[in-house]
């Protein structure tokens, strides 16, 4: 079954507009580097950074660049078809991998140096989202229930646990597995000995403690840098 990427993008931005979400720049995987998505984004006047699938035209452009300038980064204008929207392909040479990292963008930059720094850093924001989904799934509550209320509740708990883990990671070295194990131990304590067996700390007090620890850590680091 073929995907209608143009309709998908149009529907997505209509929905975002309906719920009042403003869009700055969209970061998309290489699957969206095609003749449906980029013209639609251009039509909607949306800035984009998209990982690029290499094509014969792109490979030829890179080979010509390498012959003249060696293994250096470059930017060149590209369009899928005559009359279609043009955009920049940013080719950043990775010395470790010995290959080009390719991105398509309609964003403006004054020089290739700024593009080299800006585009990969911006695109890396996508990985934060994907990492979030991966880690969040470590708290997934498996259920066969078809109740939308129950499934929504499980999802909310999943998100809360992910946020708690991130909060604790600011001061502790802890994994999702360790956090779940501690929660399991506390549940067993409550079942056996009641709620009084737990040491309750108000959330506001916990947040104040975390804030103090982070501030103290920053103060110590600044002091060390001053000494150096």
**Per-residue pLDDT, 201:** 74
For the residues 178-198, what does the mean pLDDT come to? 83
Please report how many Cα atoms fall inside a 13 Å half-sphere around the Cα of residue 7, on the Cβ side: 3
Pick the most confident of 62-71, 109-118, 140-149, 207-216: 62-71
What pLDDT score was predicted for residue 179?
86
The pLDDT of residue 226 is 62
Q: Which residue bears the tokens 């690029």?
A: 52
Our CA angle for 8, 85, 22, nearest 5°, is 50
Q: Over 80: is that where the pLDDT of 131 sits?
A: no
pLDDT of the residue at 188:
86
> Does pTM top 0.75 for this prediction?
no
pLDDT at 228 over 60: no
**Strand order from edge to edge, sheet including 74-78:** 25-28, 47-51, 99-105, 87-94, 74-78
- Would you state the structure tokens that stand for residue 24, as one six-digit string? 């700055």
- Provide the pLDDT for residue 24: 84
**Domain-located, residue 53:** yes
Answer whether residue 110 shows pLDDT above 90.
Answer: no
Q: Is there a domain that residue 207 lies in?
A: no
- Residue 90's nearest CA partner among 104, 80, 100 is 104
Q: Report whether pLDDT(173) > 90.
A: no
Residue 66 confidence (pLDDT) above 90: yes
As a whole number of angstroms, the distance between CA 209 and CA 213 comes to 6
Residues 6+ apart with CB under 8 A from 115: 73, 75, 88, 90, 109
Residue 176 lies in a domain: no
Counted domains in the chain: 1
**pLDDT for 182:** 85
Domain limits for position 26: 5-123
Q: What percent of the chain has pLDDT over 90?
A: 23
With 90 as the cut, is the pLDDT of residue 195 above it? no
In a domain, 92, yes or no: yes
Mean pLDDT across 147-172: 84
User: Higher-confidence residue: 130 or 4?
Assistant: 4
The contacts found for 35-38 with CB under 8 angstroms, 24 or more apart, are 35/80, 35/81, 35/84, 36/4, 36/5, 36/6, 36/9, 37/5, 37/6, 37/9, 38/80, 38/84, 38/85, 38/87, 38/104
Alpha carbons within 13 A on the beta-carbon side of 15? 6
Q: Which pLDDT score is estimated for 41?
A: 94
Assess if residue 109 is contained within a domain. yes
CA–centroid distance for 194 within its chain: 41
Q: Among 1-10, 70-79, 107-116, 172-181, which stretch is predicted with the lowest mean pLDDT? A: 107-116
State the chain's mean pLDDT as an integer. Answer: 83
Q: Mapping DSSP to helix (H, G, I), strand (E, B) and coil, where does residue 131 land?
A: helix
Determine, yes or no, domain membership for 129: no
Give the confidence band of 175 by pLDDT, cuts at 50, 70, 90: confident
């Amino acid at each position: 079954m073929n995907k209608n990427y143009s309709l998908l993008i149009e529907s997505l931005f209509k929905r975002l507009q309906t719920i009042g979400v403003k869009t700055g720049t969209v970061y998309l995987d290489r699957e969206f580097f095609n003749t449906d998505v980029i013209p639609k984004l251009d039509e909607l006047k949306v800035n984009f950074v998209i990982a690029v699938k290499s094509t014969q035209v792109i490979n030829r452009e890179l080979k010509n660049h390498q012959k003249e300038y060696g293994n250096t980064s470059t930017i060149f204008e590209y369009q899928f078809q005559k009359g279609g929207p043009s955009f920049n392909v940013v080719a950043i040479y990775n010395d470790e991998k010995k290959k080009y990292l390719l991105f398509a963008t309609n964003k403006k930059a004054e020089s290739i140096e700024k593009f080299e720094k800006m585009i990969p850093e911006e695109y890396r924001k996508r990985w934060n989202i994907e990492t979030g989904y991966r880690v969040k799934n470590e708290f997934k509550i498996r259920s066969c229930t078809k109740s939308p209320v129950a499934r929504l509740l499980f999802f909310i708990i999943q998100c809360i646990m992910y946020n708690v883990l991130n909060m604790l990671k600011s001061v502790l070295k802890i994994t999702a597995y360790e956090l779940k194990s501690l929660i399991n131990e506390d549940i067993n304590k409550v079942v056996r000995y009641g709620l009084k067996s737990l040491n309750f700390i108000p959330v506001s007090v916990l947040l104040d403690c975390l804030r103090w620890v982070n501030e103290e850590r920053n103060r110590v680091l600044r002091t060390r840098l001053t000494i150096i």
